[in-house]
Amino acid sequence: MSDHILVFYGSYRRDRMGIRLADYIVAQLRARGARAELIDAKAVDLPILDRMYKEYGPGEAPAAMEELAGKIRSADAFVFVTGEYNWGPQPGLKNLTDHFLEEWFWRPAAIASYSAGRLAGARSSFIWHNTLSEMGMVVISSSLTVGQIGSTLDADANPTGAGGEALENSFARFADDLDWWTEAAKTQRAKRAPPY
């Protein structure tokens, strides 16, 4: 059975460029045989965090939250596509992620960052790594960093120019690393229940 990988994207902006990277990652993971699914924070549209999923009684959580909780629990791995806003991650992605906690545990996570400039969202990626670790995920060592997103992927998420070539060259290692950790986590969970 192929791995179920959720790809999270968090921009709420009208002219979103990072959705190209999210779409590219979904397409590339599918081409490798994964059951990749895009989770767009703007489409899910959870409110600003007031109560976490676990704080609702059975059957009381909003429908979108309940549906997403089920997807997170059933996923084998996660990819977080984050832009950089003022040296930090997108608030939409952080808000979406913070609605859940135990649902994330004991699965690998990968980070793909981007920006319009040369630093490619690296500062956001650094912050995001700590957040995901705190939330119980194993963050893989490989990451994707895409600078000048508008000239790296076209409107249909096809790589263009030197930036697109660099993305294509780095994606295989990124995906191989995620695949290795996904298999390791699945094997370990099947062998022994997590300690909490």
The number of folded domains in the chain is 1
In sequence order, what DSSP letters do the residues of 12-81 get, joined into one string? --TT-STHHHHHHHHHHHHHTT-EEEEEEHHHH-PPSSSS-GGGSPTTTS-HHHHHHHHHHHH-SEEEEE
Q: Is residue 23 domain-resident?
A: yes
Using pLDDT thresholds of 50, 70 and 90, give the confidence band for residue 118: confident
Supply the pTM of this predicted model.
Answer: 0.95
Using pLDDT thresholds of 50, 70 and 90, give the confidence band for residue 85: confident
What SS3 state is found at 8? Answer: strand
Show the tokens assigned to 65.
Answer: 């939250």
Instruction: Give the whole-angstrom CA distance, residue 62 versus residue 176.
Output: 36
- Asked whether the predicted pLDDT for residue 112 surpasses 90, the reply is yes
Q: Is residue 53 domain-resident?
A: yes
- Tens of pLDDT, residue by residue over 172-192, are 999 999 999 999 999 999 999
Q: Is residue 153 domain-resident?
A: yes
With a pLDDT cut of 70, the percent of the chain lying above it is: 99
Q: Is residue 196 domain-resident?
A: no
Domain with 160, as residue range(s), is 4-191
Q: How many CA atoms lie within 13 A of 12 on its CB side?
A: 15
Q: Is residue 33 domain-resident?
A: yes
- Asked whether the predicted pLDDT for residue 1 surpasses 90, the reply is no
Q: Is residue 14 domain-resident?
A: yes
CATH number of the CATH domain containing 29:
3.40.50.360
